[in-house]
């Protein structure tokens, strides 16, 4: 999955400015990958760390499993391990960057994003029907009820990330750093490349992992 997939956007209000939290055309980013990009147990060894990034082996495998799930019902290509780590790392760097800028996500904003997402999935038409199917499979995999899934701490924490990314994109446009939301992916890629040398990846954890 390429960093910065083109998104359809949902407008939200924050402190008198419009904040756009973007909903992917097939809702994959928010309904599968951000939600499933869990922060993980702090006691787990970190596959990727540095510059505000902390990615566990569990999180990597969870993302990959969802990518493989998407591939079974669409022409979605499963990304390579390197591409997965770049995607996760770029997201984490962007979230850390947003927080460094003083951006926050309120409970009300997170509630609003989740409500909008659920409504979009329930009303999915032929264009977004695949997303609804994938989301239901994702919920089924967790073993949780739908209500428990959407209200879980993990789901809420990761929708907080979605809000922060939307706020960051809006801020960058206001500052003139990017021209529009379509350029946000370029910003993420450039941020990753600028900080890559200060991020450590322990590939031996994947090579020696026997859990998956």
The whole-number pLDDT of residue 26 equals 31
Between CA 25 and CA 36 the distance in angstroms is 18
| pLDDT one digit per residue (tens) for the chain, 212 residues | 445 443 334 344 443 333 344 433 333 344 444 444 444 445 788 999 999 999 999 889 988 888 888 888 777 788 999 999 999 999 999 999 999 999 999 999 999 988 888 887 787 665 567 777 778 888 888 899 999 999 998 889 888 988 999 999 999 999 999 998 889 999 999 999 999 999 999 999 998 876 65
State the sign of the Cα–Cα–Cα–Cα dihedral 108, 109, 110, 111.
Answer: positive
The whole-number pLDDT of residue 130 equals 73
- Map out the domains of the chain with their CATH numbers: 7-207 (1.10.4030)
Q: Which helix (H) or strand (E) holds 99?
A: helix 81-100
The whole-number pLDDT of residue 53 equals 94
Asked if 72 contacts 39 with a C-beta cutoff of 8 angstroms, the reply is no
CA 82 to chain CA mean position, Å = 17
The pTM is what?
A: 0.78
Q: What ranges make up the beta strands (E) of 31-189?
A: 46-50, 53-56
The whole-number pLDDT of residue 125 equals 64
């Amino acid at each position: 999955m390429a960093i910065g997939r083109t998104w359809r956007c949902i407008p939200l209000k924050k402190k008198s400015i419009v904040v756009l939290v973007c909903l992917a055309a097939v809702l994959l980013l928010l309904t599968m990958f951000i939600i499933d990009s869990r922060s993980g147990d702090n006691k787990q060894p970190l596959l990727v760390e540095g510059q505000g990034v902390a990615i566990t082996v569990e999180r990597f495998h969870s993302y990959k499993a969802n990518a493989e799930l998407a591939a079974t019902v669409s022409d979605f290509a499963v990304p390579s391990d390197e591409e997965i780590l770049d995607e996760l790392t770029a997201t984490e760097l962007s979230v850390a960057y947003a927080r460094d800028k003083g951006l926050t996500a309120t409970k009300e904003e997170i509630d609003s994003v989740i409500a909008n997402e659920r409504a979009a999935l329930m009303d999915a038409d032929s264009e977004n029907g695949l997303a609804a199917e994938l989301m239901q499979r994702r919920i089924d995999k967790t073993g949780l009820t739908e209500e428990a899934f959407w209200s879980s701490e993990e789901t809420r924490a990761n929708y907080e990330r979605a809000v922060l990314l939307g706020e960051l994109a809006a801020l960058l446009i206001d500052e003139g750093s990017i021209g529009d939301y379509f350029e946000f992916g370029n910003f993420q890629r450039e941020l990753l490349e600028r900080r890559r040398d200060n991020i450590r990846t322990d590939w031996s954890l994947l090579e020696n992992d026997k859990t998956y």
